[in-house]
Structure 1
Amino acid sequence: MTVSGHLASRLLLVCAGLLAACALYLAEPTLLQTLRNSLFDQYQRWQPRAEPAETKVLLVDIDESSLARLGQWPWPRNLMAQLLDRLREAGAAVVVFDVLFAEPDRSSPAQLRNRLPSELAAQLKGLPDHDQLFADALERQPSVLGFAATRAASQTAPLSRFAVRMRADAGTPRFPAYAGTASALPELENAAKGSGAMTFQPDSDGVVRRVPLMIRSDGQLLPSLAAEAIRVYLKQNLYRIDANEHGDIIQVHIGPESLPTSRSGELWVHYREDMSTQSLPAWQVLQGRPDARLQDAIVLVGSSAQGLQDLRFSPLGRMIPGVQVHAQAIEQALYGKPLQRPYWATPLEALTLLLAALLLCGLTLTTGALTGALACAALLAVLNLGAWWAYSRHGLLFDPLSPSLGLALSYLGASIARHRASERQQRWVRAAFSRYISPNLVEHLVRHPAQLRLGGERRHCSFVFTDLTGSTALMDEQSPERLVSMLNEYLEGIIQIAFRHEGTLERIMGDGLAILFSAPLVQTDHQTRALACALEIRQFTRQHAANQQAAGVPLGCTRIGVHSGEAVVGNFGGSTLFDYRALGDAVNIAARLEGLNRYLGTDLCVSEAIRAANPNVPMRTIGDVVLKGKQQPIRLYEPCEMDIDNAYDAAYALLAAEHPNAVEAFSALHAQRPDDALISYQLQRLLNGQRGERIVMTEK
């Protein structure tokens, strides 16, 4: 593949990964939603909603002190009527009950008469009904009652005192859906100005971050408690809903107020850190203590008592009464800066992720890891600072965390792609370089580049030397083109054999080669590898010579010498040339053994060290050879082409014992095998008067 092809494949791989990341992001799995919500919570902790300069939202708290003074909950409805009258007298504009009055007051005289004997019931007949007293108070004071949304089919439904208007092309709005509702008593419902759902939908971690403005129940749209409080306070009777053709909700309009929502019609609540100054204990209100703040106020009645179990987790990291969630939403809608996550936020974040990741991947692939890392850090900083600026200045919730994770993953993917490209280039260099030196040496140098420096180490190694006979005459007889082609084929075959046995090509000397084992990597079986390599080279060169001779090229035989011993291995090429090789007496002996073949008539000669490491390979003993310039003999062998040569071994035993019958034995063998060069050599020695195993060489 060309360089441009590799680049195109990397870009396609990166783009495929980016598209998959964007698709996953648009799907919004639970993990991403949890991370996003945690970040939005942190934003609110850093910068909660400021206390408005003027607010008309107050709370009447049925707190622990009120329960201690006035008795446990539920309070009699005549007491609730008194509370409502006190708020009316103080000038409250709207009273909103975060309490469900679904059952008759059991302490009411009308209810007690049904459970008392007739004599006592008659005495209670003239007393007023508590539920009716409360209904009368609701008639006198504009109020909003709460109802509960349920998963079961509804038994009672709240009254509709409003109209809903939507665009003609809008789809079915995606408000939270419930099977039914549980509302207040009919006489209370009829007396109140409105009723709204008290139900929240906390996220999976239990935190209430959004309040629905409307819900869907039994095929109809019903407002939430906060929405009804705003509607009654503004004296409106119409809700206008902006939704697109898919049912995604953009805004809910209540009179002059336009409330931006999530796609499912939920209002993101921007929490204040503390609303305790706007909370009045219920017992103080019942005592008629004047409070000017109640004039024209929206008053929410609820409980902070732990026993009533109406406590919720807020993004600020603490538990607050459920009524305060409604109060926060109402106050934000009327007097604060709206907090919103626009319906187009997710597509914008996905597009930002895609463009930023493409830029980052392009930089990483074309420049380098450091530039890519700096670009990644800069993009992450821009994403996170931009999201914080949008929140703190404009109340917009954009998620920088999920795109940041996607960007980091994109950088990781691009870095891996670049690393793979670098590895591919290294493999190409390794493959090209391996045509000149051994693959195992290339691999070793790639992993240990420090060994490119000058120097060496002592190592016990094995060596195979080869040489082609008659090559000088070939140069005169053959054309250069044919000679080069033949030699390339010859050398290529031997080199491939050496590499198969994991040998290191130390050097090429014309038509001869030097092959090294156990360097640069240690091979505990280097003697076995060297002999196996030499045997395969002998088989290959014989077949190659026969093929060339059949083609009219008088190619000679290949002589091979194998020896094992200590040598110094390393880079001896100087500071400007890498030349990995072995030096030492063992190397010289191996080279001498290769040359010794022309005197012995053999084509493969191995030393005693090789023979000792390969006891199962059949060999014929040549003798104890004293090389020229040496004092000590070295025992040499010729690996057999048959399993065992008993006849030669018997004749050699006579030669070693200097027995007179040795000449007769080798003469008989020569008559049987006139082409066996080693037998001819041993016979000629005997005929020349040489006795015993010791062979002294006078030439190299």
Structure 2
Amino acid sequence: MRKRRGVSPSLLSCAVVLLGCMAVLVLAPLPVQQLHNAVFDQFQRWQPREYTGAPVRIIDLDEASLARLGQWPWPRTRVAELVDKLREAGTAAIVFDVLFAEPDRTSPALLLQDQGLDDALLSQLQALPDHDSQLATALASSNAVLGFGTERRPGANGLPLSRYGLVATEPSPIPFLPQYASAVRALPVLEQAALGSGALTFDPDTDGVVRKVPLLVALGDQARPSLVAEALRVAQRSPLYRVHTGEAGIERIDIGRLQIPTNRRGELWVHFTVPQAVRTIAAWQVLAGQAPAGLQGSIALIGTSAQGLQDLRFSPLGGIIPGVEVHAQALEQILSGEYLQRPGWAPAVEALALLLGGLLVCLLALRVRALPAAGLTLLLIATLNGLAWYAFSVERLLLDLFTPGLGLALLYSVASISHHVASEREQRWVREAFSRYVSPNLVKHLVDNPGQLTLGGHRQVCSFVFTDLTGFTEMMERQTPEAVVSLLNDYLEQVIGIAFRHDGTLDRIVGDAVAIMFSAPLPQADHAQRALSCALEIDRFAQGYVAQLQARGIAFGQTRIGVHSGEVVVGNFGGSTIFDYRALGDPVNTTSRLESLNQYLGTRVCVSAAIARSNPQVPMRAVGKVQLKGKSAAVEVFEPLQAVDDAYDAAHLLLMTGDAGALAAFTALHEQRPADGLVRFHWQRLAAGERGDAFAMTRK
């Protein structure tokens, strides 16, 4: 018997799934990007940046400041006072994370309009100092940076002023930068007084979490710095930016003495710290002259944590933080020289890990036993994730090897299922091969009587034992194919050994089912006794075998057995190509039906009257006259026992004679023996209104 050869379906399925996983990883659709971000966020939660006390402070327009000094917006005169206080404290730069796009409505000229004053008085009042001009004066005497907003639609009020030069290598960085169509600028009088103007914008990812801060943005065909970049430039008194661009995008941006690695879009990955109270000073404290030490030489960021002003952002660490803190943490990170980087080669490394790991996992799943293969696959996935964690915790590199690990898990599952299917197919082939094996006594008979090695048969009275396992399909699903085959081979070997010890002939093996015949090829006068003795020994062995496996935590089905005698045609069948020595006739089918009958009766062994009459020494209890599926005549069926069951026999006598007391008798027996399957069967019949000991089976 030869197996067909060709392309392995398991290999083909592995190749298809591996290519699919590679395509998804390389194309990086939104779910994959979100998975990358989730991995990087978890890394930050496990190891947030250690706060090192960089010279960056947040001047917080907090709830307490608003409660003491009034709601925002404050008069520009008060903002000018805040600027003067910070300048006097020796700050390196004063950076506004707020937008002054409209004139101060508390200025006298605006406040007194439409008040009905006479022209002379109105003229005198309008001559009072303008609040925006007072703020401009304060800005001009300090190192101030204002913010501007960005819009993706055209319009707004033109490009912000630039007080710097920008030197860029080829190719131009503009196409790689975050793109905006226009800007919302600060008032011209304020913008001209400040030393710098930076974009307030940073775009959160699709889940609303801010992970990156741009250093430059594109406004049309012009590059403009972000608030963070301008804060660094002004603090260092630097006159220009240097942008290093490669074919894949922006690689680095230099601001003064600082060389800042970025992603291809000129963005900085922010490595967040847990909240730090020392980072923040309430604005009212500065105005009251109660600011703690630490402002000298620092970059002071003026922003708000007040909920009503709605400048709150989601952090990778899982909380909500003010937008000004994102700028502050980015500045701290740059000044301390600690950078998170996702190198341009990171996607290639992740794809290579998936490719090489996928090939290894497929090889393991298809060539190694299930448990070691699963263990090695888990070890490989754990190793990849360990390397990614090492890259983050030691080198500050953002590599996502968790996503390739999911691909490897999927590959292993597909390969294992494919291998399981192939193993089942192999087992079917093995079972077909086993069905061609013959018993030793048959071999001996044919060697001694070579003349009988011809096609045809003759009539002979024989006895048959059929066995089958319950729950074999479920056992195949719960355990690996290798484990099932090993258990089944051990079980079949012992069952067949019992048959051979009783001089039975192996008729056939069909999966987990065994058919044994007696009195063929050599007549045996005591074939009925041999058959029953063989069946009872198989029953004892099977119960012990199941108990042993259960003690080891392995589930194995119970063995059902049917025994019957009758006249059959015995001989060689199958044509001239192959000899198949077996018995054909109704007794063979009856034996099979008796074996199946056990599952409905709750018994393990069912025998016919022919077997029962030939074994008077074996205690038995009558089941009844059963019309088996496909049979027109009823068969008397018995269950062999270890000892006589008088109580059952008395109840069965009432049942057999149609006595109305049968129901009460079986009800009492059922209450005494709830686990007795045959008692339960008759009790249910009688409770359903049936009478007598004759019944028909409508199923096999």
TM-score > 0.5, shorter chain as reference = yes
Task: Tell me, yes or no, if structure 1 residue 465 matches structure 2 residue 568.
Answer: yes
The one-letter amino acid paired with 1:465 is: V
Distance 2:630 2:271 in 1: 88
- 1:99 alignment counterpart: 98
Say if 1:267 and 1:7 are closer, same or farther in 2 by CA, change over 3 A. same
CA contact (8 A) 1:518 1:524 kept: no
Change (3 A) 1:150 1:522: farther
Q: CA deviation at 1:97?
A: 0.1
Deviations 1:199-224 (A, max 9, x none): 22222332211112222232322221
- Structure 1 counterpart of 2:656: none
Distance 1:331 1:521, change over 3 A: farther
- CA separation of 1:308/1:444 partners in 2, compared to 1, >3 Å: closer, same or farther? closer
SS in 2 for 1:36: helix
Q: Is the 8 A contact 2:148 2:183 kept in 1?
A: yes
Aligned partner of residue 406 in structure 2, secondary structure:
helix
Shift of 1:463: 7.0
Instruction: Give 1:516's aligned residue.
Output: 588
**In 2 relative to 1, CA 6–369 (structure 1 residues): closer, same or farther, beyond 3 Å?**
farther
Paired residue secondary structure (1:91): coil
Query: Which is worse superposed, 94-103 or 5-14?
Result: 5-14
Change (3 A) 1:67 1:429: same
Q: Are 1:58 and 2:57 counterparts?
A: yes
CA deviations on 1:381-418 (whole Å, 9 max, x unpaired) are 21222222211112111113212211211221221222
Query: Aligned pair 1:229/2:231, yes or no?
Result: yes
Q: Deviations over 1:427-474 (max 9, x none)?
A: 22233334569xx99999975845763426664879783368xxxxxx
Shift of 1:612: 10
Could you say which residue in structure 1 is the equivalent of 2:221?
219
Instruction: Give the corresponding residue for 1:665.
Output: none
Matched residue, 2:24: 24
Aligned to 1:658: none
- Aligned partner of 1:278 in structure 2 is 279
Looking at CA atoms only, which structure, 1 or 2, has the larger radius of gyration?
A: 1
Q: CA separation of 1:524/1:383 partners in 2, compared to 1, >3 Å: closer, same or farther? A: closer
Q: Cα offset for 1:105?
A: 0.6
TM-superposed CA distance for 1:320, in Å, is 1.6
**1:160 match: secondary structure:** coil
Deviations 1:138-175 (A, max 9, x none): 11112111111223323213122334333324675432
The alpha-carbon distance between structure 1 residues 436 and 587, as it changes in their structure 2 partners (threshold 3 A), is farther
Structure 1 residues 611 and 153 mapped into 2: Cα distance closer, same or farther (>3 Å)?
closer
> How far did residue 7 of structure 1 move?
7.0
User: In the alignment, which residue of structure 1 is the partner of 2:66?
Assistant: 67
* Residues 364 and 418, structure 1, Cα contact 8 Å, conserved in 2: yes
CA–CA separation in structure 2 for the residues paired with 1:237 and 1:244? 24
Instruction: Say if 1:198 and 1:518 are closer, same or farther in 2 by CA, change over 3 A.
Output: farther
Q: Secondary structure at the match of 2:136?
A: helix
Gap runs ≥5 in structure 2: 439-465, 476-487, 499-537, 540-559, 598-603, 615-625, 634-700
Change over 3 Å in CA distance of 1:84–1:170 after alignment to 2:
closer
C-alpha distance 108-462 of structure 1, shift in aligned 2 (>3 A): farther
**AA aligned opposite 1:516:** V
TM-score by length of 1: 0.65
Amino acid at match of 1:258: Q
User: Does the CA-based 8 Å contact 1:339-1:396 persist in structure 2?
Assistant: yes
Identify the residue that residue 538 of structure 1 maps to in structure 2: none
Between the aligned partners of 2:190 and 2:307, the Cα distance in structure 1 is 27
Aligned twin of 1:162: 164
SS in 1 for 2:260: strand
- Please report how far the alpha carbon of residue 337 of structure 1 lies from its aligned counterpart in structure 2 after TM superposition: 1.1
**Deviation per CA, 1:96-130, whole angstroms, max 9, x where unpaired?**
00001011111111222433324252231221111
Cα offset, 1:5, TM superposition: 4.9
Distance 1:152 1:458 in 2: 83
CA contact (8 A) 1:517 1:523 kept: no
3-state DSSP of counterpart to 1:489: coil
TM-score (norm 2): 0.65
Aligned to 1:625: none
Matched, 1:81 2:80: yes
Structure 1 distance, partners of 2:404, 2:612, is: 64
Please say if residues 173 and 243 of structure 1, whose CA atoms lie closer than 8 Å, have aligned partners that are also in contact.
no
CA 1:420/1:141 → structure 2, altered by over 3 Å: closer, same or farther? same
Asked whether the equivalents of residues 563 and 611 of structure 2 are also in contact (C-alpha less than 8 Å), the reply is: no
The 1:4–1:252 alpha-carbon spacing in structure 2 relative to 1, beyond 3 Å, is: farther
User: What's the counterpart of residue 10 of structure 2?
Assistant: 10
Aligned to 1:328: 329
Cross-structure match for 1:262: 263
Tell me which amino acid in the other structure corresponds to 1:95: I
Q: Following the alignment from structure 2 to structure 1, what is the Cα–Cα distance between the partners of residues 205 and 163?
A: 31
Contact map agreement 1:569 1:583 (CA 8 A) in 2: no
Separation in structure 2 between the aligned mates of residue 7 and residue 366 of structure 1, nearest angstrom: 16
**TM-aligned CA distance change 1:462 to 1:25, over 3 Å:** farther
- Describe the SS at the equivalent of 1:293: coil
Question: SS state of the match for residue 516, structure 1?
Answer: helix
CA deviation profile, 1:253-284 (whole Å, cap 9, x unmatched): 22332222233332111112133212221122
Question: 1:175–1:4: structure 2 CA closer, same or farther, 3 Å change rule?
Answer: farther
Which of the residues 163, 168, 181 maps onto 1:179?
A: 181
CA distance in 1, matches of 2:594, 2:22: 51
How far did 1:183 drift?
A: 1.4
The whole-number CA distance in structure 2 between the counterparts of 1:275 and 1:232 is 25
SS in 2 for 1:517: helix
- 2:173·2:250 contact (CA, 8 Å) conserved in 1? no
Distance in structure 2 (CA, Å) of the matches to 1:519 and 1:104:
103
Equivalent residue number for residue 477 of structure 1:
none
* Residue 588 of structure 1: how far off its partner (Å): 13
- The 5 A counterparts of 1:373-392 are 373-392=374-393
CA distance in structure 2 between the partners assigned to 1:148 and 1:464 by the alignment: 100
What's the C-alpha RMSD, in Å, of the aligned pairs? 3.8
Equivalent residue number for residue 41 of structure 2: 41
CA contact (8 A) 1:210 1:269 kept: yes
> Are the structure 2 counterparts of residues 187 and 367 from structure 1 closer, same or farther at C-alpha, using a change threshold of 3 Å?
same
- Give secondary structure in 2 for the equivalent of 1:207: coil
Structure 2 counterparts to residues 346-361 of structure 1, below 5 A:
346-361=347-362
Distance 2:137 2:114 in 1: 25
* Distance change >3 Å, CA 516–CA 166, structure 1 → 2: farther
1:314 maps onto 2:315 in alignment: yes
1:194 offset after TM fit, Å?
1.4
Aligned partner of 1:210 in structure 2 is: 212
In 2, distance between residues paired with 1:384 and 1:21? 18
User: Would the alpha carbon gap of residues 174 and 520 (structure 1) be closer, same or farther in structure 2, given more than 3 Å must change?
Assistant: farther
Aligned residue-pair number? 512
8 A Cα contact 1:90 1:290, kept in partner: no
CA contact (8 A) 2:217 2:226 kept: yes
Per-residue displacement from partner, 1:492-540 (whole Å, max 9, x unpaired)? 79x8xxxxxxxxxxx527xx78872255576989xxxxxxxxxxxxxxx
Counterpart CA distance in 2 for 1:611 and 1:89 is: 105
Which of 379-388 and 96-105 deviates more?
A: 379-388
Q: Which amino acid aligns with 1:344?
A: W
Q: CA deviation at 1:94?
A: 0.8
Query: How far apart are the structure 2 equivalents of 1:167 and 1:264?
Result: 15
**Contact 2:56/2:332 (<8 A) preserved:** yes
Match of 1:201 in 2: 203
Partner of 2:454: none
Distance (Å, rounded) in 2 between the aligned partners of 1:434 and 1:208: 68
Matched residue of 1:359: which SS? Answer: helix
